[in-house]
Structure 1
Amino acid sequence: MVKEYDLSTTYEKSQGKETATYNEVIRFYAELDDAFSSVSFIEYGETDSGKPLHLVIFNPDAEFDPEYFPEEKQVLLINNGIHPGESDGIDATMLLFRDLAQDSIPIPKNTIIATIPVYNIGGALNRNTSTRTNQNGPASYGFRGNARNYDLNRDFVKADTKNTKAFYKIFQALDPDVFIDNHVSNGADYEYTLTHLLTQHNKLNGELGNYLHQEFMPALEDSLANKNWPITPYVNVFNESPEVGFAQFNDSSRYSTGYATMFNSLGMMLETHMLKPYAQRVEGTYEFMKTTISIIDKNSTKILKARANNKTQFAAAKEYFLNYEIDSSKTSTLQFKGYQDTLVKSEVTGLDRLQYNRNKPYTKEVTYYNYFQPKDTVNVPKAYVIPQGWWQVIDLLKANHIEMQRLEKDTIFNVEAYKITDYKTRQNAYEGHYQHYDTKVEAYTEKVRFRAGDFVVSTQQEGIRYLLETLEPIANDSFFNWNFFDTVLQQKEHFSPYVFEDKALQILSTDSILKRNFDSIKKADRNFSKNWYSQLDWIHKHSEHYEKSHLRYPIFRMLN
């Protein structure tokens, strides 16, 4: 007897008013796997919730091991429920995979499609009806924070959560050519249901960045407009009118699409508009994914070639650009469909508030700042040398398939080291950290003895961008800025002033250059000349007694 499956979804049964619970999602995909040979439902590592992360793969050829995917096939990875209150993608992707399996929509010829059904499982289990304060449905939904209250879309570099480590396994196994992360927006009001947040094309760089900006984006916008689903870039303004113009979102490495960029994947985030009815948002998400699949499938050869060229370009790079900022000398103009807005007196505060009038739609030219330029440039080293004691960093590199070699014996290398000369620190907690920013370093060369078991990490590998974005301390989302090396910021050994007085005198008497510099500073700096401890501390820091590890970045660069 053939088993029959009810593959209708909670979303459909509720006539577009409800989203599936986590257990309903898992049961749906398990049954889809059971019913169709083209679908595979796989467990991939644990999450903070204690439950495993899942991956679903659609492949009509019934090959589900990424190691054996044909080279001529590209891979699309769709992520859902990173913020489970933004559940549009969860329901839309269930419909998409069912329709693909049932052959009721066109089957891509050149693309294998994979999805993470619910990424933030802890948040999905924490179901409520009120935390998405401004959102128009569904009736109930999950919570933004995960089981440990992390926002997972800020965790892709620091990997504080088991979710992210499980994601690494999926992403590195699939090596997706295209990546979609489905979200719901907050912010301004406007006519669109759909907005796109594509990876910043200057940062993606090379042939791949050009394809995304010059070919994919226009094709996506035109195709959806022809289907009566107009789409605009993500409206990156909140308490002001979109008419003033707005900038493309700068998706740094902490975000999912920024993480994808480090591995030369085309990243795109869909942001449906929170104020539109839930059914409209889910249907729009479905159309966005279906349209994207159609475009990338027709251009698979071009995408694969562009991605390969990007990898080759960066593998041979002598310089690398960091910390992209808006280039206001270049702009684009949007024919933006908005609503007339005005400032009125608030009945709550008595002060001005922004109010949109949906009875007065408009189409106006709006300036869009979507060109960026790097603020910083670093020379690419031949390799990094990482002492084995920094195992947390080493483990993350390994999880991201970074190749490295262990030293078989103690070895002295002539390396470039960094001294941390300045940095600022957030005053409030941010995703479990007091993050650093505006970090500055001073480079110098020295001979350093490394121990057997320390790691040499060549930059001549596919993960070069990941290495540079995480190991260069000035990078916005570097491991240094995420507090991985804060122990070197604290001086461990100090001096007793009454004892060091005699040593300080001896040091100055045997080093005439140091004495001359000391006297010069005392003469030029009145505060220094009146502070006995600052003077002794200065002498200590210029003596052999001062620990080398203080403010010395503990990862070293091999230049040749």
Structure 2
Amino acid sequence: MQKLIPTLSFLLFILSCSNPEKKTTSTIDFTTTFEKSQGTQTPSYTEVIAYYQNLANTFPEINIREIGATDSGNPLHMVTLDPNGEFNFDKIRSNNRILLINNGIHPGESDGIDATMLLFRDIAQKKIKAPKNTTLVTIPIYNIGGALNRNSGTRTNQNGPIAYGFRGNARNYDLNRDFIKNDTKNAQTFAKLFHLVQPDVFIDNHVSNGADYQYTLTHLFTQHNKLGGALGNYLHQEMHPQLEAALVNKKWDITPYVNVWGTTPEKGWTQFMDSPRYSTGYTTLWNTLGMMVETHMLKPYKKRVEGTYELMKSMIEIIEKDGTKITKLREKAFSDVVTQENYTVQWKLDTTKITTFDFKGYEGNFIESKITGAKRLKYDQKKPFTKKVKYKNYFKSAVNIKVPKAYIIPQGWWTIKELLKRNNIEFKVLEQDSTITVETYHVKDYNSRNTPYEGHYLHYNTQVKTSKEEITFTKGDMVILTHQKGFRYLIETLEPQAPDSFFNWNFFDTILQQKEGFSPYVWEDKANELLSQNNELRIKFQKKKKDTAFANNWYAQLDWLHKQSEHYEKAHLRYPVYRIPK
């Protein structure tokens, strides 16, 4: 039998975890790996967790706890810094606003990991002013499997640190595409943490790809029209400008995330639309004010970490100042949204509204490639410029649905039930078999990706037709009222036309395959008998045959007739989530 000998550092880590309540006057050196390396290195996963454990053992206002499993086999940790040393979130919410900071979703983008370690330490050691009415919560490293897959090469475009984690998690999922579909244990545990914490504001720390420009910091707030109402207006008109102004005052220029690929940014760009597969798109479903920090990949690592640190400090200052307003706006958003008669499930760019601002870039030209001979983009950092650019950051409704009073889902779709439970969705089950008149969707058309995307062949451009049916549901089927806190989540997942609906993520693909068919030599005679007995059908069939392609395809004719008969199965293309109208 092979004996496993733990390393000294691992033993020290275990010992430090064994007394979570003990607070000591410590001589521990809280200088981080980032600082010791003069801004060139980031710590390993075990070093990060040990660091926070030591902080928690030393400072009574800091707590670390395990929340749940991840695909790596390691637990997801949550670290809380509360000015009053209160770690019961029901009590915290009665007095404070909560800022949730997510780090290491892409562990190669480690800026936030280091910046948050510095932030928690500096507040605890009173090196910077501690917030009075804001509780900070951080996930030290979300993608633990990726962090353990440490290397120095996969971030081809990035200027430091020396070694870092990998983008894919332990099962090679990109976790910033998994929030709504919940394929990974990471995402399932995040949902548990998110609903425990119920943050007012959410920050997800990243590093950008794309164009070259002068800024170290860029921001990507959740799309304000999508958030909607007074809360969306506050995000767009107050929080966003305040953050930019605060950072400029600190000599940290910042610009909206430069959503430009393969060309230069002078002509402007369109705001990235964060659907619920992304972290901020998911957190927005519960009216949390969300933003991503995107530092620029080519700037020195030290500068990127310092910029992320200052941005988080500035956001805390805004929350301290506007905390009461944020609380009231979020409460109003929860009460207003459930009264909506209509809800937008697809958005399109509003070309009538454009934001113009001064952008600090570098001149770029297309020159001949020495490798391929084709034209390649080359930026000249010796030629900086400031130019007016057009930023298209307004969207309008493209597809609206009428909000139902409730949804009914047959109990056989237990995978959907599990997703709803993870997200604190309230539902009841039928206590007896019941016949109910419902609105039914039939899938009219859809497209699918030709290549796999995050473990799925994602559908898009989904179209449905609606009919009313009287259906008998059985004891145990789920009835889900829309008038609840998870309103947005329900609409975005259960309406098949929504980009990140459960239908589009392939959770209902079995309805797309016809299970029963016909043998042509048998059906030919039955179809002929059907036409002889149904004059209306015979007329429709003759009109249909005016289509040359249809007329020249004998099988298509038999199939069409089969679909008009009682033999055609009802389940084919019938979406198994039913709507009870208001």
Same fold at TM > 0.5:
yes
In 2, distance between residues paired with 1:528 and 1:225? 66
Aligned runs of 1:438-453 on 2, under 5 Å? 438-453=461-476
**Are the aligned partners of 2:460 and 2:504 in contact in 1 as well (CA < 8 Å)?**
yes
Map 1:114-263 onto structure 2 (within 5 A).
Answer: 114-263=137-286
Distance in 2 of aligned mates of 1:187 and 1:529: 51
Aligned equivalent of 2:574: 552
For structure 1, list consecutive stretches of 5 or more residues without a partner in the other structure.
none
Q: Which amino acid aligns with 1:184?
A: V
Q: TM-score, normalised by structure 2?
A: 0.95
**1:73 correspondence with 2:100:** no
Q: Secondary structure at the match of 2:569?
A: coil
Q: Secondary structure at the match of 1:443?
A: strand
The answer to whether the Cα contact below 8 Å between 1:80 and 1:118 also exists between their aligned partners in 2 is: yes
Q: Distance in 2 between matches of 1:322 and 1:409?
A: 33
1:310-347: CA deviation from partner (whole Å, max 9, x where unpaired): 11111111100122221111100121011122222221
Aligned to 1:305: 328
Aligned-partner SS, 2:343: strand
The answer (yes or no) to whether the contact 1:340–1:356 under 8 Å persists in 2 is yes
Amino acid in the other structure paired with 1:526: T
1:289 aligns with 2:279: no
After superposition, give the CA deviation of every residue in 1:429-488 in whole Å (9 maximum; x if it has no partner): 111111000000000000111111110000000110000000000001110000000000
Partner of 2:555: 533
Query: Cα deviation per residue 1:495-554 (whole Å; 9 max; x = unaligned)?
Result: 1111112221222222221121112212x1222223222121111111111100000001
- Name the amino acid aligned to 1:532: W
Q: Distance in 2 between matches of 1:195 and 1:135?
A: 15
The one-letter amino acid of 2:71's match is D
Counterpart amino acid of residue 153 in structure 1 = N
1:110-144 Cα offsets, whole Å, 9 max, x none, are 21110000000000000000000010000000000
Q: Do 1:72 and 1:301's aligned partners in 2 also have CA atoms closer than 8 Å?
A: no
Partners of 1:190 and 1:527 in 2: CA distance: 55
Helix, strand or coil at the partner of 1:28: helix
Range with bigger deviation, 443-452 or 61-70: 61-70
Supply the RMSD in Å over aligned alpha carbons: 1.0
Distance, in Å, in 2 between the alignment partners of 1:101 and 1:435 is 46
Query: 1:238 deviation in Å?
Result: 2.0
User: How far off its partner does 1:42 sit?
Assistant: 0.8
CA deviations over 1:244-272 (Å, ceiling 9, x no partner)? 11111111111000001111110000000
Offset at residue 5 of structure 1 (A) = 1.7
Partner of 1:4: 27
Q: What does residue range 490-529 of structure 1 map to in structure 2 within 5 Å?
A: 490-522=513-545, 524-529=546-551
Which structure 2 residues correspond to residues 269-280 of structure 1 after superposition, within 5 A? 269-280=292-303
Determine the structure 1 residue equivalent to 2:128.
105
1:2 Cα shift? 4.8
**Equivalent AA in structure 2 for residue 525 of structure 1:** D
Q: Residue 299 of structure 1 aligns to a residue in which SS? A: helix
Is residue 18 of structure 1 aligned with residue 48 of structure 2? no
Counterpart Cα distance in 1 of 2:548 and 2:314: 69
Q: Which range moved further: 308-317 or 3-12?
A: 3-12
Deviations along 1:46-76, one digit per CA (max 9) or x if unpaired, are: 0000000010000021111212224242111
The separation in 2 between residues aligned to 1:41 and 1:271, in whole angstroms, is 26
Change in 2 beyond 3 A, CA 1:181/1:2 = closer
Q: CA deviation at 1:3?
A: 4.2
Letter in 1 for 2:275: S
Question: How many Å separate the matches in 1 of 2:428 and 2:550?
Answer: 48
2:344/2:399 contact within 8 Å kept: yes
* 2:574 aligned counterpart, secondary structure: coil
In the TM superposition, residue 355 of structure 1 has moved relative to its aligned partner by 1.3
Would the aligned equivalents of 1:178 and 1:266 in 2 still touch at CA under 8 Å? yes
Say if 1:265 and 1:2 are closer, same or farther in 2 by CA, change over 3 A: closer
Which residue does 2:479 correspond to in 1?
456
2:8 counterpart residue number: none
Structure 2 letter corresponding to 1:451: T
Q: Per-residue CA shift, 1:160-211, capped at 9, x if unaligned?
A: 1000000000101111110000000011111100000001111110111100
Q: For the Cα contact (< 8 Å) 1:37–1:60, is it kept in 2?
A: no
Find the partner of 2:507 among 452, 461, 484: 484
Tell me the residue number matched to 2:4: none
189-198 or 61-70: bigger deviation: 61-70
Please tell me whether the aligned partners of residues 67 and 75 of structure 2 are also in contact (alpha carbons under 8 angstroms): yes
Count of aligned positions: 559
Secondary structure, aligned partner of 2:94: coil
Aligned with 2:439: secondary structure? strand
Distance 1:257 1:224 in 2: 21
Equivalent position of 1:360 in the other structure? 383
Q: Percent identity?
A: 59
Aligned-partner SS, 1:63: coil
Match of 1:336 among 348, 359, 362: 359
Deviation at 1:155, TM superposition (A): 0.5
SS at 1:69 equivalent? helix
Structure 2 unaligned runs (5+)?
1-23
Q: Does 1:92 align with 2:115?
A: yes
What is the alpha-carbon distance in structure 2 between the residues aligned to residue 315 and residue 297 of structure 1?
28
Please give the alpha-carbon distance, in whole angstroms, between the structure 2 residues aligned to 1:315 and 1:57: 31
Q: Secondary structure at the match of 1:447?
A: strand
- Give the letter for the 1:116 counterpart: I
